[in-house]
Structure 1
């Protein structure tokens, strides 16, 4: 299936699923709950298709006599209360299984209380399609568009799960993961980064086939992730199983929990991540600086962290730094406050420059994320062996993809081609000494970075072009969000200054 055909097919499927979403919304079922039910039912339908295909049939549900007549066909053959009971029991039993199936159906419940509507969804909307043959990443393209259509449900979480596919692909193209890497995402969402990394490896395997050892490495934990939210984790686990990255009975590659709660138990050679946006956490993480606070009820002790902060983006940067193995490489999406926040932010930036090779930063435009007005960047850095007296970062190359750029989710969405110039400047796999400065791509030496106030990496040098009537102005709600974020950033700066003054006051000798 060609790319245009895939796009058209995705749109058709999404229109079909959205039409029934509107019916379910009238019954009080939110978009998130509806997507969750689709996850369960589509997985069962695709498992049924895989088992009954003529070429290379594959059993995804448990391969035991007790499960032989269970699954999708069981739902198709049931009606009324029998259907509701069969669906309830199926979800409960699958959720109690170990391994990846247990993650997909963990705490699964039927949210469609009308058996007639459940039957209609199974029979007319899902049953009439062969989802395995569509060439569509159901949990990616289709679900992304479905959640975008349900953006009015943002208060319940719709729209927060996805990093733009074009950005994911560009980040993966820069990192160039291999079948020998151990690849992870500590805030995995629906698994977009892991799927893209696996697809990149498979593409390379077309010219150099994978060895049996490499294939086994991938399925035994070469690709893995963690997610805080059960509903999102099940989407990721479903994606990994249906894409053949892991087996239903194999090692559990998607874990559920708080990545920040404890130091990593294993390291990775590649980290690809877009940690959840939001400045503050209700949990303070205590680093090895020994600072404490009484303002939070719950705290984590992370002696592998450099500094204590409630800013979860800064904590994720510290976690990823700890997660990387020596010579590992990372590409991480971070909001602007990570670049300029003083106090803990300054400490973390100094440590990154000293202990890691922070070699590239991509400044992203607004309008590419579901949360309007988000100002974000991608940091590319490599972990190096300890070298106390000599910082590893020699030069940070910054690509300004923000100035003069305006995207929207519908009228002007970000496409992979928009990032071609950045990839050309980045030169994946080549010596960074071969990089060439351009209007948008500029290097900054370590001395220049350290000389900036508080090691502020919020670097700009291009002036926005004047807008005319043909330019696309941001919607009022986006402008309002940007203003709120700027005010929050200013408040964080004032809070950090006040905290610093308090520390100075404590350390000052008492007056004679």
Structure 2
């Protein structure tokens, strides 16, 4: 992050500490800043015509006391009302918006401090970087309570370098979060096209308005996603929808799918009419994997973060893996270190695959799209990651070199042997393992990474992660017992 941008982020974040005593949480504070920064940004960029009924930043900022707070509350209601606000981006930002500020002095402090910022420098350095800095502060501050798992930037950037998104491709994230994957793909394409100047006007319009699609079901997170993408020059609005519901079909087919779906099973069951394997299952990682398989175009490529149990689970899990390998070339699995997500103890992987069938084939189809799967173990004998030891691009250097330049996984590859991190299994060998993809061969002598934790937030996050995992196991066992046939009564 540019030093000037970092300074602005620090100034804005300083107010959060003050407002905590007034009952404003970290996440509520970032929502509050989203509303105010959006209004200020429209003034700075001459786009206040997006706002209805003469609403504008200057009118809000010059007001005082209770009048300012009352006007702010009424303005939020109007901007989120589809009968009064027609601009789709403004409506997406302010739908169900409400302020958590209760004291007029707190609102005045925020509007005054936002007005004092060096907006010329902020625009030059990139408003998107400023906003991402605030999001990073929030996720770091609330990680012990986070229901979602935020993907580390180093991992996102590594995946983007391997998948190589191109101009003209439809890039989708069905569980978009704050938009990290879509924004990183946009950065990559802009770097390759001189900030889109190498493209025609029509191609540039496609990139800004149609290339990036997705859903984010949590309303507050969706709001942050829309704002984040807008500040990075992407005007296509991610929907506030559940991709495991019928609306998920509306996302359409994609050239590239990049996603880190929720690891925990969510409330509600999958009711997608096009799903066959995970229909009726609890919303969680498995239905998102089925979505990715079905939604890829022919030779489309996917990188999806999945918890370990997707690699070895029985029943639907086994059928889903067979379904994946029948329709897609699952060419690479990256075993990630523990502790890189905000729920410590969660063990995850990135599955890289490409769609190889024109129409969906059943799991037992004789012709398998997957011939062999390469594994890179970045988990065994790795240090503990956290505040004092961040995951960086350097940790992925060897993996990226071994993966090769072909985003479809077709580069020449050579095994490292039993002592190396890079090995493969043929489709026949996987079948002999009962289609279990949870393969380890290195002896891990690093011990439990959680033993080295000293930060209270990281310890709390680890405890929460283990409790959630235990609850998932209990729920799974309960569901199995409910589904088990009752014994016949003796005559």
- Common topology (TM > 0.5): yes
| Residue pair 2:256, 2:296 contacting (<8 A) in 1 also | yes
SS in 1 for 2:96: coil
Residue 496 of structure 1 and its aligned partner are, at CA, apart by: 7.8
The aligned counterpart of 1:256 is: 240
Q: CA deviation at 1:488?
A: 5.6
Partner of 1:148: 140
Matched, 1:87 2:72: yes
Q: Is the 8 A contact 1:355 1:383 kept in 2?
A: yes
Q: Which residue of structure 2 aligns with residue 56 of structure 1?
A: none
Cα distance change on mapping 1:415 and 1:449 into 2, 3 Å: same
The match for 1:424 is 401
Matches within 5 A, 1:323-334: 323-334=295-306
Alignment of 1:73 onto 2:51: no
| Partner of residue 405, structure 1 | 382
Q: Does 1:345 align with 2:317?
A: yes
Aligned-residue CA RMSD (Å): 3.0
Asked if 1:461 is matched to 2:433, the reply is no
CA contact (8 A) 1:273 1:332 kept: yes
Q: 2:36 aligns with which of 41, 46, 50?
A: 41
Shift of the 489–41 alpha-carbon distance from structure 1 to 2, 3 Å rule, reads: closer
- Alpha-carbon deviation of 1:482? 6.4
Matches of residues 19-38 of structure 1 in structure 2 within 5 Å?
Answer: 19-38=14-33
Per-residue deviation, 1:269: 1.2
1:6-405 maps to which residues of 2 (within 5 A)?
A: 6=2, 8-9=3-4, 11-51=6-46, 59=47, 61-62=49-50, 66-67=53-54, 70-96=55-81, 97-98=85-86, 99-124=88-113, 127-130=116-119, 131-135=122-126, 137-151=129-143, 154=145, 157=146, 160=148, 162-206=150-194, 209-246=198-235, 253-262=237-246, 263-265=248-250, 266-278=252-264, 280-285=265-270, 300-308=271-279, 309-310=281-282, 312-385=284-357, 386=359, 388-405=365-382
Contact 1:364 1:377 in 2 (8 A): yes
TM-score (ref. length: structure 2) = 0.86
Which deviates more from structure 2 when the two are superposed, residues 32-41 or residues 234-243?
234-243
Distance (whole Å) between structure 1 residues aligned to residue 67 and residue 460 of structure 2? 47
Q: 1:410 to 1:497 in 2, by over 3 A?
A: same
Q: Which residue of structure 2 aligns with residue 437 of structure 1? A: 415
Mapped partners of 1:458, 1:393: distance in 2: 16
Partner of 1:293: none
- Contact 2:258-2:302 within 8 A present in 1 as well: yes
Aligned to 2:323, what secondary structure does the other structure show? helix
The aligned residue for residue 55 of structure 1 is: none
Give the superposition deviation at 1:502.
3.8
CA contact (8 A) 1:342 1:493 kept: no
Contact 1:342 / 1:496 at 8 angstroms: preserved in 2? no
Greater displacement, 71-80 / 494-503: 494-503
Shift of 1:11: 4.5
Greater alpha carbon shift after TM alignment, 38-47 vs 162-171: 38-47
Number of matched pairs: 467
| 1:147-185 deviation line (CA, Å, top 9, x unaligned) | 312446x1xx4x736211111111111111111100111
Pairs within 5 Å for 1:472-511 = 472=452, 477=460, 480=463, 484=467, 487=470, 502=485
The verdict on how the C-alpha distance between 1:414 and 1:422 changes in structure 2, with shifts beyond 3 A counting, is same
**Structure 2 CA distance for aligned equivalents of residues 111 and 489 of structure 1:** 33
> Alpha-carbon deviation of 1:225?
1.5
Please state whether the residue corresponding to 2:297 is helix, strand or coil: strand
| Cα separation, 2, equivalents of 1:496 and 1:346 | 17
Q: Distance in 2 between matches of 1:468 and 1:315?
A: 31
d(CA) in 2 for partners of 1:466 and 1:162?
Answer: 25
Gaps of 5+ in 1: 52-58, 247-251, 286-299
Distance 1:22 1:419 in 2: 35
Distance 1:491 1:339, change over 3 A: farther
- Please, which runs of 5 or more residues in structure 2 have no aligned partner? none
CA contact under 8 A between 1:270 and 1:329: conserved in structure 2?
A: yes
How far residue 477 of structure 1 moved from its aligned partner, in angstroms, is 4.8
DSSP-derived class of the 2:353 partner: strand
Q: 1:446 is matched with which residue: 416, 427, 447?
A: 427
Task: Find the aligned partners of 2:465 and 2:240 in 1 and give their Cα distance.
Answer: 32
